[in-house]
Amino acid sequence: SQTIHQWPATLVQPVGSPLSLECTVEGTSNPNLYWYRQAAGRGLQLLFYSVGIGQISSEVPQNLSASRPQDRQFILSSKKLLLSDSGFYLCAWSVGLYGYTFGSGTRLTVV
C-alpha cells in the first residue's frame, strides 16, 4: 500500500534562518506531488506541485522554493524565513487526478 512520510512534525525557527522540509512517498511510482500551506487552521493554499523529477510549478510568489531530486521525494525550502512563513505545511500525492492523500504535516513557527 502507498504511504506518505513528512518530517519534521513541528519546527520552531528564527527569522532569517533557512528551512528544509522533506516528504517521501512509498508504494507508488511517478506520483504527482504537492506542497500546501494552511494558516490558522483554515484554508489550504497550494504552493507547489510536481509531475516528475526536476519539474516544479509554483502557484503563488513567495519566499519558498521546492525541489524534486528523486521520483518519490519532494522538498520545500527557504533561504531566509519570514514571520509570515509560519503555518501548517502539508505534502500530498496523487496518481492522475484522483487518490489525493496528505502527509501528517509540519507545524512551522517562525519566531
Partner 1 sequence: GENVEQHPSTLSVQEGDSAVIKCTYSDSASNYFPWYKQELGKRPQLIIDIRSNVGEKKDQRIAVTLNKTAKHFSLHITETQPEDSAVYFCAASRGGTSYGKLTFGQGTILTVHP
Positions touching partner 1 (CB under 8 A) are 32, 34, 41-44, 46, 49, 51, 59, 90, 94, 96-98, 100-105, 107
- Specify the residue, 73 or 101, whose C-beta has the smaller distance to partner 1: 101
Nearer to partner 1, 19 or 36 (CB): 36
* Shortest reach from residue 44's CB to partner 1, in Å: 4
The minimum distance between CB 102 and partner 1, in angstroms, equals 4
User: 32 with 93: CB under 8 angstroms?
Assistant: yes
How near is the Cβ of 79 to partner 1 at its closest, in Å? 26
Least distance (Å) between residue 13 CB and partner 1: 19
- Give CA–CA dist 101/76, Å, rounded: 18
